Structure 1
Amino acid sequence: MSTVEYQDRASSIGWQREAAEQLVAGRGVIVAEFFDAGCSRRLSWTERPQAAALLSELADPKLRLDAMVVGEYERAFSGDQFSEMAPLLQRLGIQVWLPEAAGPVEPGSLEHQVLMRLLGAQSQREVLRSRHRVLAAMRAQACEQGRFMGGRPPYGYRLVDGGPHPNRVHAGWGRWLRRLGADPVTAAHVRWIFARRLEGWSMAGIARALNERGVPCPSHVDPDRNRHRSGEAWTLGTVAAILGNPRYTGRQVWNRQRTDRDSAGPGGRREGVVRRWNPVQEWVISERSLHPALVSDEDFLAAQTIRAARPTRAVQPGPGEHVGQAGRSRSRVLHRSPGGTPGAGFAFLGDAAGCPQSSR
């Protein structure tokens, strides 16, 4: 069971145990149970606590286990994991029983070899297909509905009720949507930051002024969601992140970042999970404002074009770029799409930052 927050442990164990018992009924007895919770099947068996414990017991000659029974192929294996495990299990004299094989898998059977490859490909296809559907739905919800897609509220906002869930079934369960609302304390600081930037202040100067005024920084205000940060003071990077966030215009923004899961290497071991920023052309911005704006469209766009004073070195900006923060970094300019009316949307470097079919 990989998604512990969305599944009931007892129910998941129950149906898998029932499938395993039906498979071996009259031919054997289940004497031990191993159940990993919160572990992706993409992990190798040695990286799953309970799976690793099972391998250890299978290799123990004192226990004299004959076979292992799996309630469903996808609960134990993904991709080529079965073919990688098969030689080890053969050496230990352990059979693998699967419902899909209607009993023990026969290593020498061509039919079973083809079946295992098919099940491995199918398990990967299931993941890719589900991922594509979820991402496509999230893109449409963010663009067309301006739906809050989760995550930490930006500094200056807090989560408030957004009305009953549009899905009748979910609404019947009493579920409500969540949306962003202006925070009564921190929203004023965001407006102050944009006002100072439009007056020509440098980002470093804004950060210094906030610290001198004793304004708590974002990670200090919300330590539970920022445990990876110190919460000690405002930094230039914090100010830059606020000034470059289009969500302060009242529009919902999604897909600014992505999660890269490195492919399994030899033995199924992965390097880790990494968060990376997407190019601005891939950001999805809602067609209209859905939550209170802390800065107008015009002021937000103007803030993106202001250069920091006295760059320390000459930097030749590329097309659609401007030099900022004393020449130390580059950032793309956010342009208003043709029409220029409030709610007309934005375009990044001439590309529509919203629905692909949009003609704004």
Structure 2
Amino acid sequence: MPAYRAAIYARFSSDQQRDASIEDQFRVCRQLAESKGWTIVRTFSDRAISGATQHRPQFQELLAEAKAGQFDIVISESLDRLSRDLEHIAGFAKTMTFLGIPIFTVAEGEISELHIGLKGTMSALYLKDLAQKTHRGLEGRIHQGKSAGGISYGYRVIRELLPDGSVTTGDRSIHPDEAAVIRRIFTDYAKGTSAQAIAKALNSEGIASPISGKGSGEWNPSTIAGNAKRGTGILNNEAYIGKLVWNRQRYLKNPETGKRQARLNPPDQWQYTDVPELRIINDDLWDAVKARQKAIRVKINPAGCLTAGLRPERARRPVYLFSGLVKCGCCGSSYTLINKTRYGCAAARNKGEAICTNRATILREDLEDRVITGLRDRLWPPKMVSAFADQYRKSYNSYAANVSAEREKAERKLAKTQSAIDQITKAVEEGMYHPSMIAKLTDHEATKKALEQELSSEPPAPTLRLHPSMSTRFKEHIHALSVALREDHLRAEAIEILRGLISEVRMVPDADARGGHQMELVGDLAGILQLSEGDRGKRQSIIAGGSVTLVAGVGFEPTTFRL
């Protein structure tokens, strides 16, 4: 054979293999070159990189130097060291053939098209079989309640020596310090704190993040919020409620980049395993977080349509206490900040007097103070709360009357159906059987079942409960709310509660009034009433009665509640 200039390529794919594997491959390849009289001019090696990808630094350098004519022949221990992908090895062989560079391996000798077809197919089947066996093994570990991959934040690995001398793998226990951080994250988020604000607070306190050993060690909002659909992020990790979810997604390699990309599996392929010993969060806190996430998604996409344009700005936290709630009492347009300190009608300023002539403005601090002070000082007197309760009773009684009427109608129809069934049954017992009776009996039984389901799904309206100390409770809660608005650690939750009670602040220009405006509050009657309930757990009467939105003050005073 000619005195070729030879290049050697070696590779191993697993971190668990030794670097000595590369030297072993180089040794046998050098022995082959010496036996053929070839001169080694270059060696290439990729460590701990799968042969399923061609995006290997040294492999790409091998291709570049081959095109530059730096050697005459390529040597490797076996064909699968060059690649385990049929398409890639065929492409590599085609390129080498075009360049006039033969491929030799210790295992197969000179590589031909037959080797490419057979060995390439065998390597591809090997990878597929390996993936299936790995998947099976991971599934078995999950069913045993063990970890099938990395360790989640909040847990630590348990290593125990077994009788046979081996060490346990996949066992975990709760990490107390990290579990406390997880509870804090869930609690703060449920109270209205954003993932970004939580991350900033954790970083400012120097609390180590889940990626402390892998990157900057800083908390990111994405680490906390993640992706609810894919189950990523601390707020979506169901292990924290004692449930392992496996096979939620799979990973595929992009053939162009070689990078793995996640693909969500159908829900019916997800597998669940209960691990109560790993529970960190109680169900109530978990449900509160899920409810807030859902509310944010609804704000972003109210229609819930995949084709609808998403509006992330709708879920953005309001900058000020009543941002977006202040309306012009003249035209109904929004009151917005016309400068850094004052609210004014947006329509009057942007669309002209043909739309609205209200040019009055008011200080933001003055508006906020008057609303909070008004709630605290004007709504609690007994005569107002009594009138409020009367208005609530009227709304509740209207709802209850509708429920009762529909229920009585269904009960009468059920009684009539049962009577028809009894008559047919009695006729059959007396020997008056006819085949048509079977069809009628079947229809009546189906009607009876549907009516019973309707009645069970729509229980009777509960008894209306109004706490006797409603006036005092209302005052206490409003006072506590006004205090919380001034406390940094409670402000986010307090703002969310207050904005949930007030749906609109109508600004009516009045030159003689304080700040040049009278104010009308539009609020959630049921929500305000809940503030005065003695037991916050007793909410059935509120929920069943519905949420009645009206001008706060209708029922409190003869006309409107103005501040």
In the alignment, is residue 31 of structure 1 matched against residue 17 of structure 2? Answer: no
Match of 1:179 among 171, 174, 190: 171
Change (3 A) 1:185 1:300: same
Identity %: 20
In the alignment, is residue 190 of structure 1 matched against residue 177 of structure 2? Answer: no
In the alignment, is residue 134 of structure 1 matched against residue 126 of structure 2? Answer: no
Contact 1:217 1:234 in 2 (8 A): no
Contact 2:203 2:218 in 1 (8 A): no
1-structure distance, mates of 2:138, 2:179: 27
Which amino acid is 1:120 matched to? G
Alpha-carbon shift at residue 8 of structure 1 (Å): 0.4
1:208-357, aligned counterparts within 5 Å?
208=197, 216=205, 220-225=208-213, 227=215, 230-231=218-219, 237=225, 241-263=233-255, 269-270=256-257, 272-275=259-262, 278=265, 280-289=267-276, 291-296=277-282, 300=286, 304-305=290-291, 308=295, 312=299, 315-316=302-303
Contact 2:146 2:172 in 1 (8 A): no
Alpha-carbon shift at residue 18 of structure 1 (Å): 5.0
Deviates more, 1:132-141 or 1:30-39: 30-39
2-structure distance, mates of 1:316, 1:49: 48
The equivalent residue for 2:347 is: none
CA deviation string 1:153-211 (max 9, x = no partner): 23xx131425346xx7xx62x533353333333323433555577xx73463x875786
CA deviation string 1:259-315 (max 9, x = no partner): 33112xxxxx426333455555443322443x4311245764575456548964772
Match of 2:58 among 50, 58, 64: 50
Deviates more, 1:242-251 or 1:280-289: 280-289
Structure having the larger proportion of residues in helix: 2
Aligned length: 293
2-structure distance, mates of 1:130, 1:40: 13
Change (3 A) 1:201 1:60: closer
2-structure distance, mates of 1:296, 1:59: 63
2-structure distance, mates of 1:301, 1:254: 21
Match of 2:23 among 13, 26, 31: 13
Which amino acid is 2:261 matched to? V
User: Residue 46 of structure 2 aligns to a residue in which SS?
Assistant: coil
The equivalent residue for 2:88 is: 81
1-structure distance, mates of 2:98, 2:39: 22
User: Residue 281 of structure 2 aligns to a residue in which SS?
Assistant: coil
Contact 2:202 2:219 in 1 (8 A): no
Contact 2:210 2:217 in 1 (8 A): no
CA deviation string 1:23-62 (max 9, x = no partner): 5563334524322223332333xx433334434444555x
The equivalent residue for 2:75 is: 69
User: Residue 36 of structure 2 aligns to a residue in which SS?
Assistant: coil
Alpha-carbon shift at residue 76 of structure 1 (Å): 0.4
In the alignment, is residue 163 of structure 1 matched against residue 163 of structure 2? Answer: no
2-structure distance, mates of 1:327, 1:123: 52
Structure 1 residues not aligned, in runs of 5+: 106-111, 264-268, 319-324, 330-360
Change (3 A) 1:229 1:259: farther
Change (3 A) 1:192 1:53: closer
Change (3 A) 1:162 1:248: farther
Change (3 A) 1:123 1:216: farther
User: Residue 7 of structure 1 aligns to a residue in which SS?
Assistant: coil
RMSD of the TM alignment (CA)? 4.2
Which amino acid is 2:58 matched to? Q
User: Residue 52 of structure 2 aligns to a residue in which SS?
Assistant: coil
2-structure distance, mates of 1:164, 1:27: 52
Which amino acid is 1:73 matched to? L
Alpha-carbon shift at residue 124 of structure 1 (Å): 1.2
Change (3 A) 1:160 1:38: closer
Change (3 A) 1:22 1:153: same
2-structure distance, mates of 1:302, 1:281: 26
Structure 2 residues not aligned, in runs of 5+: 1-10, 306-311, 317-563
1:114-153, aligned counterparts within 5 Å?
114-142=114-142, 144-153=143-152
2-structure distance, mates of 1:85, 1:160: 43
2-structure distance, mates of 1:79, 1:248: 43
Contact 2:14 2:48 in 1 (8 A): yes
Normalized against structure 2, the TM-score is what?
0.43
Contact 2:76 2:82 in 1 (8 A): yes
User: Residue 131 of structure 1 aligns to a residue in which SS?
Assistant: helix
User: Residue 86 of structure 1 aligns to a residue in which SS?
Assistant: helix
User: Residue 261 of structure 2 aligns to a residue in which SS?
Assistant: strand
2-structure distance, mates of 1:145, 1:287: 10
Q: Which has the higher contact order (CA 8 A, sep 6+)?
A: 1
Alpha-carbon shift at residue 10 of structure 1 (Å): 1.0
1-structure distance, mates of 2:64, 2:188: 63
Which amino acid is 1:49 matched to? P
Alpha-carbon shift at residue 2 of structure 1 (Å): 4.3
1-structure distance, mates of 2:257, 2:248: 24
Higher radius of gyration, 1 or 2: 2
Change (3 A) 1:276 1:225: farther
The equivalent residue for 2:336 is: none
In the alignment, is residue 96 of structure 1 matched against residue 96 of structure 2? Answer: no
Change (3 A) 1:284 1:2: farther
2-structure distance, mates of 1:189, 1:175: 30
Alpha-carbon shift at residue 19 of structure 1 (Å): 4.4
Change (3 A) 1:252 1:23: same
2-structure distance, mates of 1:225, 1:72: 37
2-structure distance, mates of 1:56, 1:232: 40
Deviates more, 1:19-28 or 1:243-252: 19-28
User: Residue 69 of structure 1 aligns to a residue in which SS?
Assistant: strand
CA deviation string 1:217-259 (max 9, x = no partner): 97x4344256278537799726974343210123333334443
